[in-house]
Amino acid sequence: MKVVLQNLTKTFPARGKKGETVTAVNDFTFEIPDGELIGLLGPSGCGKSTTLNLICGLQKPTGGKIFFGEDDVTDLPPEHRGVGLVFQNYALYPHLTVLQNILFPLENLKGKNKLSKDEMKRRAHEAAALVQIEGLMERRPSELSGGQQQRVAIARALVKMPRVLLLDEPLSNLDARLRLQTREEIRRIQKETGITTVFVTHDQEEAMSISDRIVVMKDGVIQQIDKPQTVYDDPTNLFVAKFLGTPPISVFSGEVRGGMLYIGENPVLPVGGVSDRPVTVGIRPEGFVPDEKGKLICDLKAVEVMGRDISIVSTHAAAQVPVIRSIVSADHRINTASPTVAFSLKPHKVFLFDRESEGRIPFTTV
Amino acid sequence: MEKNQNKAWLYLLPAILFLGVFMVYPLIDVFIYSFEEGYNSASQTYFGVGGYNYSYVLHDPYFLQAIKNTLILVLITVPVSTLLALFISVGLSSIKALRNLFQTVYFLPYVTNTLAVGMVFMILFKKTPYSDGLANLLLGLFGAGPIDFIDGPYWAKMLVLCIYTVWVVMPFKILVLTGALASVNEEYYSAARIDGTSRARIFRKITLPMISPMLFYLVITGFIGAFKAYSDAVAIFGTNLNAAEMNTIVGYIYDMLYGEGGGYPSYAAAAAIILFVIVLTITCINLLIRRKHVYHG
């Protein structure tokens, strides 16, 4: 089932005397192809959870339309939309057993959709098998670990065979190891069921690792929609560039003069097709190449060895970030006694942005 | 560990002392009096030891009337007030406008003095040579004859007492239940809505189990409170409750101690022990049911 959002807008009325109306979701238009897993990514307060609530119907949009396939569901109440939602805190009914929790949505079915007791049991066990919790059916949620509760919540959302599966920060309550494991699990379940899935996260690594496509949001406005790798390699603006990637991108004040990019007083990279102007320069950590003849000279602070790679921590007067982190292969030998380190740059890991609009300025490498 | 335990006992000491002196010791004392025939608190003397006090009390028509009154009061007011309070709390929780106003209105009886509320009930229900009271005025509209609710037939007086009791105990229940309802996580309702759960089913399957501990607390304390009713009856029918056929168990105990025909601490003690046994039994039954049916968070 493809999901289409058309000019979707949600504003919240002002609170108190001096309050201003808040636009949580601003003129969203995008289409989620059938069977894809979409990650809604953004800092907290950017409207991603609101978007999810609009899709599932818990909140009504102020403007715009939502389609599931060809059906306009904008005015449908949540129970008629056929969505499954996994809450951040799972919202498992604590007084019911795992089996009763999974059966709950099925027991609501009425009229011609009503299922026999045996059929319900069969479907519940099928859903439980999918998330591998068959052994826990008689337990109560309080007797389960966080990861197990998460699985039960997914089983409960899947058991009624929803048209769309929505996950709200599904991994944020799990510890680091379980998070890795569970995100692969979510990916596997999504692939197996083929259900169009939207999941919300503020963790860019999480979004990048399992999404077919990610939607980067800021202040209720879509910044970029694309495949994770494309968003990383080709960010549309400074915000997207900064939001994606660990360690984060290093940002400098720079200037283009006569087809040459200057950071500080040094020409660091020839850039074609850009008129002379001040720019903001973003360089990915892997874009730095230690090179004695390199033109970008930074003050060396520390070298962290991570086995396969080494991380060079340095500072630069023109940098807009407190420290510059670059990741280089461990084959490079860095003279830790030297006060400075010189880098040459990989052109495709360097992005130029407008100082004012922070939009991307394309350039050609010579 | 040992040292910590000593410290803990030290902190508990004041409470233990107070409870011992004012609760445990009197309880034991009352138990002993109840078996001492003709105990006189002034001279500290008695004739003999045995079950005569219990036999007397259990054959006293006033006591039997008091037990009957108390049981009717308990069996009617506890379920009625709890259900009404639940109904009102659910209503209060689902409205937004005027919620504070209604909350205040429903809470007023709680902060109003029992006797003052009794006065209001007199005005509503008392028949005097000059007026039949507001209740009779309303009944008159439907063509029903004036009924003397205060000095009239037994059922009318019991009705007034029940309405009065329900009215007085409800604010606290509403307070507790609105709190309990507010503490149910909104996400459960959202989850249920997305799964297409009907309102009735949400209430039965989610709301009720979630607030069941509080509901049970109210039922248990409601039973205990209703068994100990006394001042309510006095507020409406005055102090001569035996004459009005409206005495309660606690009222009977009081009368035996200090009333006009009073001065019988032994009978009072026996009646008190009987009340204690009744309340204890009912509470134990309640707790047993609770263990089976109430969800613990």
Helical ranges in A115-175 per DSSP H: 117-130, 146-158
| Edge-to-edge order in the sheet of strand A309-315 | A288-290, A340-345, A296-305, A309-315, A324-329
Is the pLDDT reported for residue B13 higher than 80? yes
Between residues A197 and B115, which one has the greater pLDDT?
A197
- What does pLDDT average to over chain B? 87
Confidence check: pLDDT of B242 > 70: yes
List chain A residues with CB under 8 Å of B190. 58, 85, 87, 91
**What pLDDT band is residue A366 in, cutting at 50, 70 and 90?**
low
- The pLDDT assigned to A165 comes to 93
pLDDT at B82 over 90: yes
Give me the pLDDT at residue B234, please.
Answer: 87
What's the pLDDT tens digit per position in A257-290? 988 999 988 899 999 889 999 999 999 999 999 9
Q: Least CB-CB distance to A79: which of B185, B194, B210?
A: B194
B184/chain A closest Cα distance in angstroms = 11
DSSP letters along B81-142, please?
Answer: HHHHHHHHHHHHHH--TTHHHHHHHHHHHHHS-HHHHHHHHHHHH---SS---HHHHHHHHT
**Of A245-249, B86-90, B151-155, which gets the smallest average pLDDT?**
B151-155
Give A-chain residues touching B292 at CB under 8 angstroms.
none
pLDDT at B297 over 60: no
Note whether A238 and A353 are within 8 A (CB): yes
Q: Which of A263-277, B37-51, B95-109 has the highest mean pLDDT?
A: A263-277
Q: What is the DSSP letter of A283?
A: E
Chain A, nearest residue to B199 by Cα: A108
Q: Per-residue pLDDT averaged across A126-135, rounded?
A: 88
Residue A62's pLDDT is 92
Q: What angle do CA A102, B215, B84 make, to 5 degrees?
A: 110
Q: Is B274 within the bounds of a domain?
A: yes
pLDDT tens-digit profile of B124-140?
A: 888 777 777 778 878 87
Q: CA-to-CA distance for A53 and A61, rounded, in angstroms?
A: 9
CATH number (domain holding residue B273): 1.10.3720.10
Cβ contacts of A196 within 8 Å, gap of 6 or more: A1, A2, A3, A32, A33, A34, A35, A36, A38, A163, A164, A165
- Residue B38: inside a domain, yes or no? no
Q: How far is A319 from chain B (nearest CA, A)?
A: 45
pLDDT of residue B102: 85
Average pLDDT over residues A289-305: 90
Please tell me the predicted confidence (pLDDT) of residue A131. 85
Model confidence at A321: pLDDT above 60: yes
Quote the number of domains for chain B.
1
Residue B50 lies in a domain: no
B161-170 residue pLDDT tens: 999 999 889 9
Residue B266 placed within a domain:
yes
Q: Is residue B43 part of a domain?
A: no
Q: What percent of chain A has pLDDT over 90?
A: 58
Judged by CB atoms closer than 8 Å, whether chains meet at A57 and B194 is answered as yes
Q: Which amino acid is at B28?
A: I
Q: Average pLDDT in the B209-213 region?
A: 91
For residue B222, give the nearest of B85, B66, B113, B23 by alpha carbon: B85
Lowest mean pLDDT among A101-105, A182-186, A318-322, A356-360: A182-186
B210 touches chain A (CB under 8 A): yes
Domain that includes residue B134, residue range: 62-293
Preceding peptide of A285 cis, ω within 30° = no
Residue of A nearest to B190 (CA): A58
Interface contact flag, B187 A84, Cβ < 8 Å: no
Residue B29 lies in a domain: no
B41 domain residue, yes or no:
no
Asked if B186 has any chain A CB less than 8 Å from its own CB, the reply is no
Q: How confident is the model at residue B141 (pLDDT cuts 50, 70, 90)?
A: confident
B208 — pLDDT class (breaks 50, 70, 90): very high
Report whether pLDDT(A349) > 60: yes
Does residue B30 sit within a domain?
no
User: What part of B 108-137 touches A (C-beta under 8 Å)?
Assistant: none
Do residue B194 and residue A93 have CB atoms under 8 angstroms apart?
A: no
The CA distance from A325 to A330, in Å, is: 15
pLDDT score at B177: 94
Q: Do A79 and B190 lie within an 8 Å CB cutoff?
A: no
Task: Delineate the domains of chain A, giving CATH numbers in brackets.
Answer: 3-240 (3.40.50.300), 247-361 (no CATH)
Instruction: Pull the structure tokens for residue A21.
Output: 């109306």
Q: What is the ipTM of this complex?
A: 0.80
Span A164-188, pLDDT tens digits: 999 998 888 888 888 888 888 889 8
What value does the mean pLDDT take over residues B27-39? Answer: 89
What pTM did the predictor assign? Answer: 0.79
Alpha-carbon distance of A92 to A148, in angstroms, equals 11
DSSP chain B: -HHHHHHHHHHHHHHHHHHIIIIIHHHHHHHHHTTEET-BTTTTB-SEESSHHHHHHHH-HHHHHHHHHHHHHHHHHHHHHHHHHHHHHHHHHH--TTHHHHHHHHHHHHHS-HHHHHHHHHHHH---SS---HHHHHHHHTTPPP--TTTS-HHHHHHHHHHHHHHHHHHHHHHHHHHHHHTS-HHHHHHHHHTT--HHHHIIIIIHHHHHHHHHHHHHHHHHHHHT--HHHHHHH-S-TTTTT---HHHHHHHHHHSTT---HHHHHHHHHHHHHHHHHHHHHHHHHHHHH----
Bridge partners for A241 per DSSP: none
pLDDT of residue B158: 92
